[in-house]
Amino acid sequence: MLSLEGKTAVVTGGGSGIGKAIAELFAQQGAKVVVADLNEGTAKEMVEHITSKKGKALAMVANVADQAMVTEAINEVISKVGRIDILVNSAGISHIGRLDTTAEADFDRIFQVNIKGVYNAMHAVIGHMKEKGGGVILNVASVAATLGLSDRFAYSMSKGAVVSMTLSVAKDYVLDNIRCNCISPARVHTAFVDGFLSRNYPGREKEMFEKLSKTQPIGRMGKPDEVASLALYLCSDEAAFVTGSDYPIDGGFVRLNT
């Protein structure tokens, strides 16, 4: 069950956070994992970690906002391993600010990474997947796409776009045997969260961590491994009948807070 043996999976943002957990779990389940990350050192460290546990992996250095760079990297992967069966778009950045406090430069940066980055990666693999007879695309959105979050204007906008792109791709390529879904986590405890708290709430990290944790009705933040488990199911053959869906994984945040 949930075996990815014989499949090649590209995971953007695979060197840290949720992407790292997904890359590791997919490798455990037999996939050859392409760890795509902006940071070459981080990508190579993850590859070494996977291979030290008898997994199969290679590093792909790419700025997802740069279409030419992403396309070249994807084509290089295909030339090396022959095929790409799964694409997980996990690379993303956050931003704090309302409409009137969001500078144009920050808005553009969020757009380039969170929206155009997902477009670039899907654009680079879709022709190959059609030619090979199918594939799976999984995008990492957010509960912000459904609810909107206070002081997260640009971030919420970007994740709403991810959900819309997911539905569009699922509909346009369903007859090509390409499935496309997305997952929408609430707050997940990663190194990003710890860094955010230390930068913005020095000396109050523990207090703010508990406050943010309790915004989920379940009373805690999610774990990257929990998100990875849902990603594994949606990218496996067991989910062959699932496409065009957004799956919240949020400790009850969406349904129990409304």
Using CA atoms, how far residue 50 sits from 19, 29, 62, 135, 177, in Å, is: 13, 11, 19, 23, 29
The candidate with the shortest Cα–Cα distance to 225, out of 186, 191, 193, 188, is 188
Q: How far is CA 246 from the centre of its chain?
A: 13
The candidate with the shortest Cα–Cα distance to 163, out of 115, 227, 223, is 115
The secondary structure of residue 115, as a DSSP letter, is: I
CA distance linking residue 86 with residue 179, whole number of Å: 10
CA distance linking residue 1 with residue 242, whole number of Å: 16
155 among known catalytic residues: yes
Q: CA angle at residue 192 from 61 to 41, to 5 degrees?
A: 25
Given 119, 155, 173, 247, which residue is catalytic? 155
164's tokens:
């819309």
The secondary structure of residue 59, as a DSSP letter, is: E
Active site residues: 155
